Amino acid sequence: MDYYPLFAQLQGRACLLVGGGEVASRKGDALLKAGAVLHIVAPEISTTLQEAVSAGQAHWIGPVFDPVQLDEVWLVIAATDNPEVNDEVYQAATARRLFVNVVDDQPRCSFIVPSLVDRGPLQIAMSTGGRAPVLARLIRQKLETLIPQSTGRLLALAGRLRQTIKQQLTDVTERRRFYEQLLEGPVARLVAAGRDQEAEQSTLEALSAHRSQGGEVWLVGAGPGDPELLTLRALQLMQAADVVLYDRLVSAEILELCRRDAERFSVGKVAGHHTVPQPEINDWLIRLARQGKRVLRLKGGDPFIFGRGGEEAQSLVEAQVPFQVVPGITAASGATAYAGIPLTHRDYSQTVQFVTGHGRVDGDPMDWPLLAKSRQTLVIYMGTLKAEAITTALIEHGRDPSTPVAIISRGTRSDQTKVVGTLQGLPELAAQPEVTSPSLIIVGEVVALHQQLDWFGGAGFADEPPAVQSSTESSTVS
């Protein structure tokens, strides 16, 4: 690595800032926040620096740099618009073995100032070694969204109770587990809600009783495949889980974002073959949670849209196991959006229906007269194996054989494909080699817009359906 990462303790220590403009003001403000005694050298200084001097937080020691000004300082920043002055500062500081930073001049920096995420006592610094500061800023912006603003107050709570926890929990493993529950469990949620006193009381009660905060199950939607479509809450829980039970449709890229040391178990299902039966999955969730573990049930798409999340939630309620549900972007909205197919459109479709291509063996038959109505979008999950039966039923109940259809495979992923045709040719489309699992069937006039709105660039097109005449009638989208 090019630079040794280091957090400097500058509280009460003199630091020299050479320069008084806007850039120097930003550097000076950061030094003051770190508790440094700021010495400023510049012919003129900004209003911000003048206010710091007036408040006694900084000292304006002169207009011209002199190496003698380095005698009592620990660290130096040169932020002038004069390269000769900057070089003089660098040479003099280096001769005295002082850390020096010349702003925007990497060769004249013995230290660099990283981009920072600040959450009270928690500080996350990142650097590109001076090569691309903008990239560090962009990464910082992403981290800002991932780390709750309440984190600083939560860490302050942990700091206040650190010695108490250490004295009462002498076993290192037990103490680590308690901290995990403190920082990621109900106490953290109380702090996030601004209920700090309740959080501290809850922590002390749990500590005095030597009891675990208990296990919990998180039913989390992983979305259709693109990791960037994960919700913020999903990612937070993925990083916190002790155990991950994941479906076959969860992409490897998403699974890699889970906590590294979490146990992982595949409980995926393929049509006609359930590696782990659903009742066994339900029992597994309950058993693991009762062991005090935080269990992540990670599902492709959304847990409550053909994900059996409702069944699992019912079993958890009956077992009195606490749980949370985190919605995910379902394949119907994700894959179609990436394929340039709007599910509703005032000129083409006033309703959209989600159905599954295979349901319970003892379930009610599909309402084909309702599904076959025109001017609606029909999204069929897991339907390619029954494409011929679906086609026959829809046409027999009145759907126009020339209705545009599309099959989207591996939606939202880099290798997404779509094949497009008409309803009467759906069985042939489903048999094409481009169609692989997981796939989604879309039936409806909106499919005709797929080329015009194709921003993602899907591949594998079949014969195009005939153009659909758009209606000028305005109607409400449901």
Domains and CATH numbers, the chain: 14-113 (3.40.50.720), 151-208 (1.10.8), 216-329 (3.40.1010.10), 332-449 (3.30.950.10)
What pLDDT does residue 42 have?
Answer: 97
What pLDDT does residue 185 have?
Answer: 76
- What digits encode the pLDDT tens for the residues 371-414? 999 999 999 998 999 999 999 999 999 999 999 999 999 999 98
Find residue 206's DSSP bridge partners: none
- Residue 353, pLDDT > 50, answer yes
Query: Which tokens in the block code for residue 140?
Result: 């910082």
What pLDDT does residue 462 have?
Answer: 45
**CA distance linking residue 462 with residue 459, whole number of Å:** 10
220 with 294: CB under 8 angstroms? no
What pLDDT does residue 458 have?
Answer: 46
Across the range 352-365, mean pLDDT stands at 73
Across the range 53-75, mean pLDDT stands at 95
Query: Which of 167-181, 225-239, 314-328, 439-453 bottoms out in mean pLDDT, i.e. has the lowest?
Result: 167-181
What pLDDT does residue 183 have?
Answer: 78
Residue 120 assigned to a binding site: no
Residue 292 assigned to a binding site: no
Across the range 309-324, mean pLDDT stands at 96
29, 118, 269, 454: which one is catalytic?
269
Across the range 297-313, mean pLDDT stands at 94
CA 47 to chain centre: 40
- Residue 182, pLDDT > 60, answer yes
**CA distance linking residue 426 with residue 403, whole number of Å:** 10
CA 401 to chain centre: 42
- Residue 284, pLDDT > 80, answer yes
27, 226, 247, 418: which one is catalytic?
247
Q: How many C-beta atoms lie closer than 10 Å to residue 353's C-beta? A: 17
Is the preceding omega at residue 438 within 30 degrees of 0, hence cis? yes
Banded model confidence at residue 473, pLDDT cuts 50, 70, 90:
very low
Across the range 87-100, mean pLDDT stands at 97
Residue 441 assigned to a binding site: no
> 117 — phi, psi (to 5°)?
-105, 120
221 with 328: CB under 8 angstroms? yes
What pLDDT does residue 297 have?
Answer: 97
Banded model confidence at residue 258, pLDDT cuts 50, 70, 90:
very high
Angle at 296 between CA 149 and CA 318, to 5 degrees: 110
What pLDDT does residue 363 have?
Answer: 55
**CA distance linking residue 70 with residue 77, whole number of Å:** 11
Across the range 184-204, mean pLDDT stands at 88
What pLDDT does residue 468 have?
Answer: 40
Closest CA to 356 of 424, 434, 301: 301
> 82 — phi, psi (to 5°)?
-115, 105
Banded model confidence at residue 6, pLDDT cuts 50, 70, 90:
confident
- Residue 123, pLDDT > 50, answer yes
Burial class (CB in 10 A: 0-12, 13-18, 19+), 297: buried
Q: Is 299 one of the annotated active-site residues of the chain?
A: no
Residue 476 assigned to a binding site: no
**CA distance linking residue 137 with residue 109, whole number of Å:** 19
Instruction: Determine the 3-state secondary structure of 99 from DSSP.
Output: strand
What pLDDT does residue 271 have?
Answer: 55
Rg of the chain (C-alpha set): 30
Residue 330 assigned to a binding site: yes
Across the range 167-180, mean pLDDT stands at 79
What pLDDT does residue 172 have?
Answer: 74
Please give the model's pTM, rounded to 2 decimal places.
Answer: 0.61
Banded model confidence at residue 40, pLDDT cuts 50, 70, 90:
very high
Question: Greater confidence, 133 or 310?
Answer: 310
- Residue 476, pLDDT > 60, answer no
Across the chain, mean pLDDT equals: 88
Residue 22 assigned to a binding site: yes
Across the range 409-437, mean pLDDT stands at 92
What pLDDT does residue 213 have?
Answer: 54
Residues 6 or more apart whose Cβ sits within 8 Å of residue 199: 154, 157, 187, 188, 190, 191
- What digits encode the pLDDT tens for the residues 213-228? 568 999 999 999 999 9
What pLDDT does residue 472 have?
Answer: 30
- Residue 465, pLDDT > 60, answer no
Residue written as token pair 């058993």: 287
Angle at 110 between CA 107 and CA 116, to 5 degrees: 100
